[in-house]
Amino acid sequence: PQPWLLTGMEKDRFNGRGMNQHLVVLFEFENFQGRKAEFSAECKDVSEKGLEKVGSVLVESGPWVGYDRQGFAGEQFVLEKGEYPRWDTWTNSQYSYSFWSMRPLKVLHLFESPGFTGKKMEIVDDDVPSLWGHGFQDRVASVKALNGTWVGYMYPGYRGRQYVFERGDFKHWNDWDSPAPQIQSVRRVRDMQWHKRGCFTIPAPTPDPAPAPAPAPEPPAPPAATGAS
């Protein structure tokens, strides 16, 4: 038998049974051998999990993006659900076969008809201020949030009624409490928004002016002159 065949539990997870989150397994050697480590969130340095190198990858739920340097830097390679028994199955680079950091890609699928049918648009790790501007229409009747948290807006430019889509399937616009199948812009909720808190800035109170300095004392009057005797 092939040495990298999955165990029963791993097969169940790989086929989607019992799986409740995106997951990737890294192996130290080729063909899924040696020390392994599981990840369900981003990792800036896989060596922190005890891996000195990565020889093969098993993506149980994706997609992910891997990097050949620590800290999400260097060459990038997209990893979709599947098996990667050697480094050349995830990259065509002739310069590097390293794998040192990774993070899950945030993906949202929009469908024009209920039940995930009709025209489809895939949004990956990005904000879309206008669906029309990306060749789609404003009719969105079902949604699949593969991972990440997203907000759909009724009008372009992130305006109008808001609808939150967390990981899961939304077969009908009633599932997100919308009166109609209309979404015209979408943005991804990030860990930190780079704008000032609140809708406006309250200016700091102006300090009271400092009291005027006290006037300098007048010099003493010169002594009166005395007459000659």
Quick one: CA dihedral 68, 71, 77, 82, positive or negative? positive
**β partners of residue 151:** 164, 187
Mean pLDDT (the chain) is 81
Q: Which residue has the higher pLDDT, 145 or 215?
A: 145
DSSP state, residue 128: B
Q: What percent of the chain has pLDDT over 90?
A: 49
- Place domain 107-188 in its CATH homologous superfamily: Crystallins (2.60.20.10)
Q: What percent of the chain has pLDDT over 70?
A: 78
Q: Decide if pLDDT at 210 tops 90.
A: no
Question: What's the predicted TM-score (pTM) here?
Answer: 0.56
| Residue spans per domain, the chain | 23-104, 107-188
Instruction: Give mean pLDDT, residues 109-129.
Output: 93
> Which of 7-16, 76-85, 174-183 is least confident?
7-16
Quick one: CA dihedral 78, 82, 88, 92, positive or negative? negative
Q: Decide if pLDDT at 198 tops 70.
A: no
User: Radius of gyration (Cα) for the chain, nearest Å?
Assistant: 32
Quick one: pLDDT at residue 93? 67
Cis check for the bond before 63: say yes or no (omega within 30 of 0). Answer: yes
Determine the Cα–Cα distance for residues 4 and 33; give it in Å rounded to an integer. 7
Q: Which residue has the higher pLDDT, 125 or 114?
A: 114
Asked if the domains at 23-104 and 107-188 fall in one CATH topology, the answer is yes
pLDDT category at 226 given cuts 50, 70, 90 is low
Q: Decide if pLDDT at 222 tops 80.
A: no
Q: Decide: residue 13, CB within 10 A, 0-12 exposed, 13-18 middle, 19+ buried.
A: buried
Quick one: pLDDT at residue 54? 94
Most confident of 13-27, 56-70, 86-100, 211-225: 56-70
Neighbouring residues of 56: CB distance < 8 A, sequence distance ≥ 6: 4, 26, 27, 29, 30, 31, 32, 33, 83, 84, 85, 86
Give residue for tokens 């993070």.
103
Instruction: Give mean pLDDT, residues 150-160.
Output: 94
Domain range 23-104, its CATH number among 3.90.650.10, 2.60.20.10, 3.90.600.10, 1.25.40.80: 2.60.20.10
* Closest by Cα among 92, 81, 94 to 25: 81
Quick one: pLDDT at residue 217? 75
Instruction: For residue 159, give the 3-state DSSP assignment.
Output: strand
Instruction: Give mean pLDDT, residues 144-151.
Output: 88
